[in-house]
Amino acid sequence: MHELLLSLETTAGILQMAPLEGREWFELLRRKLLPQLSDDPFIVAAVVGGTNIGKSVIFNHLAGCQASAVSPLASGTKHPVCLVPRDFEKRHNLANIFTGFELAPWTEAQEPLESTAEHRLFWKTADELPPNLLVLDTPDIDSDAEVNWHRADCIRHCADVLIAVLTQQKYNDAAVKQFFRKAADEDKAVIVVFNQCLLPEDEPFWPKWLETFSRGTGIEPELVYLAPNDRRAAESNRLAFSQRDWPLSDNPDVTNAEGARTASCLAPDLAELHFDEVKLRTLQGSLRRLLSPESGAPAYLDEVRRRSAAFGDTARLLSMQQLARVDNWPAAPAALLVDEIRRWWRAQRLGFTKVIHDAYGVIGEGVLWPFRWARRKVAGEPSDPRWNYRCAERDVMLQALDSLYDELRRLSQLGNDLLRPRLESLLAGSSRTELLDRLRSEHSAVDVDVELRAVVHAQMLSFRDENPGAFDLLRKLDSMAAVARPMTSVVLFAVAGPVGHVFTPGVTDVAAQSVAAHILGDIAGGTSAVVMGETALSGTAGGLRLLETRFRQLYAAFTARRVAWFAEFLRRNLLGNLHIELQAAAALAESPALREVEASLARLAREVP
């Protein structure tokens, strides 16, 4: 489940959710349940509390030695320190138990007092500890340094027993209560030590302190101790801890101090705790937090579903809008299209047919050159169809961009929190000017001839493969025309005159049949062959309609190629992968990873009492 959650988080990055790291249930999963459910059982006991209340003193008494440096100044311990039983590190992986910390052997008492950005945990062996007990000293949970809160929370996640060190000043502190409320939610076992007490003067007051603490946190302590305010005894590891009963007896004749006993240190009582019961309790508490529908993994999955649905609504909103409607994209230049078809067909000729047609093509060009020159003198230089097409296409693109920006502006005002930030950045004034400059630059670099050539090549190859019978017939007609070329060329020249070769017939989609006849005539090389070709093709399946259809497909394919170029330009420079990302986010609610996490949670729920 942990691996699936990480995978789901990576995939769900577009949902703009808070990361898994830092969520209480996830920290319990990776810091407690993973390392401690897959290993031999052991107890982690952590000494926790506020600033300058003697946590390190209590820790040293548990250790039975001056293990941790004691400072009269506030915020002494910056990094957690851990005592482990002999050979514990050989049986267990400390790095897995204390996930997120850099582990280092603890050799100097002052090392945990050093301020560093790295999250360090110092450890050393303590022969006095039972073989399945680890004891930690922790940074202040109410320090001004937020890094201390993080380190203390990390220790809380992996701990089974918390030794709460309280004083008259700190039992009702807001930061302290917040920390222990989280511990209560995880059903941690808590031992309370009221430190720096003035005895017997404070005897009537500690129950009130503890009642206030319990009411504010939900903690019901396993054991309660009072420790005197004796600095010399604290520094020499000679504090006397007096145990008190809790809850208090209902018998009014029994005083608070009755039944109290004094222990030389806390370690024996801690060691006598029922380890199995404590461990099972804390693991179950962590599992319940993980499985909580309100604040656990199920709530995270519900959040994924809600945000995924919101992205789905946004994707549908974009899908229903025609962001850049284009109704009047210019048709391919007719003369250039016919030239490209002729060029492609000439490349298909072989042998005798190629030689004859090429030779008469050169002769024809020479004969017609004076007439073309004369026409240019009379009518002027004809306009370049490439330039005309480029201008018409640019005008359409600019109109489409105006329409697109108007639609994006409208969508940005619909109030969709997921879409609005993205759209507002797109609508910035400078971005629009830069987009127009890039469009002019990239569009000017487009080679219309290359675009036409690619489309004609693909479509004619498709025609050849899909209609082999018609294609072979055209090749035969072309070969027949090569034989008849000298006679038909002279006849056509005499009847139609040179001007008949000067102009290329107009090519439009609605005149596809005349285009087919024109190209077929070019293939055949003369009027007699055209008649033969039309008659021959009329006997095939579809006849000239095959050619008509192919020419319509050529026009459609070229227009689609140019529209796709414009769409790709908009994707790269304006919209990005917004729609694709939105659709991917919308699909997360039904992703395999989410369903498998849900199945894992269901299996765990059946196992937890």
* Structural domains for the chain: 42-273 (3.40.50.300), 334-576 (no CATH)
| 333-347, 499-513, 565-579: range with lowest mean pLDDT | 499-513
DSSP-based three-state secondary structure for 361: helix
Residue with tokens 């809850």: 247
- Could you tell me the pLDDT band of residue 549, with boundaries at 50, 70 and 90? low
Cα 436 to its chain centre, rounded Å, is 30
- Could you tell me the pLDDT band of residue 365, with boundaries at 50, 70 and 90? low
Contact between residue 488 and residue 529 where contact means Cβ atoms under 8 Å apart: yes
Give the whole-angstrom CA distance, residue 469 versus residue 472.
5
- The percentage of the chain sitting over the pLDDT mark of 70, rounded to a whole number, equals 68
Alpha carbons within 13 A on the beta-carbon side of 169:
7
- Sequence-distant (≥ 6) Cβ neighbours of residue 325 within 8 angstroms: 400, 403
Angle at 119 between CA 113 and CA 121, to 5 degrees: 65
Give yes or no for residue 467 having a pLDDT over 80: no
| 272-286, 375-389, 521-535: range with lowest mean pLDDT | 521-535
By CB atoms closer than 10 A (0-12, 13-18, 19+), residue 89 is middle
DSSP H or E run through 225: strand 223-228
Q: pLDDT of 51-101, one tens digit each? A: 888 888 888 888 777 766 555 544 567 888 899 998 998 888 888 889 889
pLDDT on residue 297:
95
Contact between residue 604 and residue 287 where contact means Cβ atoms under 8 Å apart: yes
Contact between residue 293 and residue 299 where contact means Cβ atoms under 8 Å apart: yes
- Sequence-distant (≥ 6) Cβ neighbours of residue 139 within 8 angstroms: 75, 77, 78, 79, 80, 145, 148, 151, 152
Contact between residue 544 and residue 467 where contact means Cβ atoms under 8 Å apart: no
What is the rounded average pLDDT for all residues in the chain?
75
* Strand 189-197 with 102-105, pairing: unpaired
What's the rounded mean pLDDT across residues 172-195? 89
Give yes or no for residue 516 having a pLDDT over 60: no
Give the burial string for 324-339 (b: 16+ CB within 10 Å, else e).
Answer: beeeebbebbbebbbb
Nearest CA among 570, 567, 552 for reference residue 332? 552
Give the whole-angstrom CA distance, residue 249 versus residue 207.
11
* Strand 161-166 with 189-197, pairing: parallel
DSSP-based three-state secondary structure for 203: coil
Give the whole-angstrom CA distance, residue 167 versus residue 206.
9
More confident of the two residues 347 and 453:
453
What's the rounded mean pLDDT across residues 532-542? 40
Give the whole-angstrom CA distance, residue 104 versus residue 310.
47
Give yes or no for residue 532 having a pLDDT over 50: no
Give the whole-angstrom CA distance, residue 112 versus residue 121.
8
Strand ordering across the sheet containing 133-137: 102-105, 120-125, 81-84, 133-137, 43-49, 161-166, 189-197, 223-228, 241-244, 261-263
The two tokens of residue 416 are 């969709």
pLDDT on residue 300:
94
The two tokens of residue 113 are 């007092």
User: Amino acid identity of 504?
Assistant: T
Q: pLDDT of 254-308, one tens digit each? A: 455 544 544 445 666 776 677 778 888 888 888 989 999 999 999 999 999 988 8
What are the distances in angstroms from CA 388 to CA 383, 385, 593?
7, 5, 54
